[in-house]
Amino acid sequence: MSTEGTYAELTKHVRNVVLTGPAQMILSTLPADIYHLCVTSPPYFGQRRYPTPPLIWGGILGCSHQWLETPLPDTKMAEQGSTATVKSPGLTGEQRITAGQVCAVCKAWCGSLGEEPTDAMYIEHLVSIFDQVRRVLRPDGVLFVNIADTYAASGGAHKSHHANPGASRSAVRSGGTGPTGTPGDAKPRDMMLIPEQFVLAMRRAGWYMRAKNVWRKVGGLGEPVQNRSVQSHEMVYGLAEDDGCSKIDC
């Protein structure tokens, strides 16, 4: 269904409406304090690439952006190659840029959620989206988020002599410098603790952490790994915007 028109017009004659588009854009068109529940699983950090146009995050409105290419996050996804050039709905005219670029003027970033160059930027973008979710949830509303972790790249791919150097920062990493640029933050093959970072950032943003649920994947395919235990579960976090009036009946 088209998202043109007000929310009242869209829901005048129907009970259920499916709105498609970037979450932060769609959420901004919805009225405040109306929904009881939000259940979501955002794109995981550095896991896979979706065929979606990049968006502009942050920066200064009206800036005549001067884009500089940024690397993919230093995870296994970086081994898939560099980003593709697509048309962005956030730009005017026929201007085309490559997903995963930062503005040299206002520091805005253009790319898709999950492809940020650092885990810190990814968490920041998630929290900004959930700020909009909190606005549309009722005071007694509840949020459930399924999010999984990511492993830092092994450092064994995309060396300077490879056919496609530059898709990963593995070729220039030294001294155990991880994706955040801080030595020792995320060493090669480290779990990056994305769910834990996310939950702590959400608490700092004012959310109440109310439940931590294990989603056990019964009969899953498993993982072809030999240097760690196989992960057969993901976490689903329950959060609320109020510490006492949310109602969870599971």
Structural domains in the chain (count): 1
C-beta separation of 3 from 19 below 8 A:
yes
Residue 178 covered by a domain: no
Question: What does the pLDDT read at residue 177?
Answer: 35
What pLDDT, in 10s, does the model give residues 28-51? 999 999 999 999 999 999 888 888
Q: Whose CA is closest to 127, among 57, 69, 59?
A: 57
Question: What does the pLDDT read at residue 213?
Answer: 93
Instruction: Provide the pairing of β-strand 35-40 with 137-147.
Output: parallel
Question: What does the pLDDT read at residue 39?
Answer: 96
Question: What does the pLDDT read at residue 123?
Answer: 95
Helix or strand or coil: residue 165? coil
Residue 95 covered by a domain: no
Q: Could you tell me what percent of the chain has a pLDDT over 90?
A: 38
Bin 162: left if φ > 0, else alpha if -120 < ψ < 50, else beta. Answer: beta
Residue 175 to residue 178: CA distance in whole angstroms: 9
pLDDT class of 241 with cuts at 50, 70, 90: confident
Handedness of CA 174, 197, 223, 43 (dihedral sign): negative
Residue 224 covered by a domain: yes
Residue 231 covered by a domain: yes
What average pLDDT does the structure give for the chain? 75
Domain residues for the domain of 247 are 18-45+116-151+191-250
- pTM to 2 decimal places: 0.75
- Domain with residue 204: its CATH number is 3.40.50.150
Bin 62: left if φ > 0, else alpha if -120 < ψ < 50, else beta. Answer: left
C-beta separation of 42 from 113 below 8 A:
yes
Number of continuous H segments (helices) and E segments (strands) in the chain: 4, 10
The CA-based dihedral angle spanning residues 104, 61, 110, 18, taken in that order and rounded to the nearest 10 degrees: 180
Which amino acid is residue 60, in one-letter code? I
C-beta separation of 148 from 195 below 8 A:
yes
Residue 107 covered by a domain: no
Residue 250 covered by a domain: yes
- Tokens representing 37 are 């529940």
What pLDDT, in 10s, does the model give residues 92-145? 433 444 457 899 999 899 999 998 888 999 999 999 999 999 999 999 999 999
Residue 143 to residue 19: CA distance in whole angstroms: 19
Question: What does the pLDDT read at residue 36?
Answer: 92
C-beta separation of 142 from 246 below 8 A:
yes
What pLDDT, in 10s, does the model give residues 183-195? 346 788 888 999 9
Residue 226 covered by a domain: yes
Residue 198 covered by a domain: yes
What pLDDT, in 10s, does the model give residues 80-89? 443 333 333 4
User: Strand ranges (DSSP E) for the chain?
Assistant: 35-40, 55-57, 67-69, 85-86, 97-98, 101-103, 109-111, 137-147, 208-216, 233-240
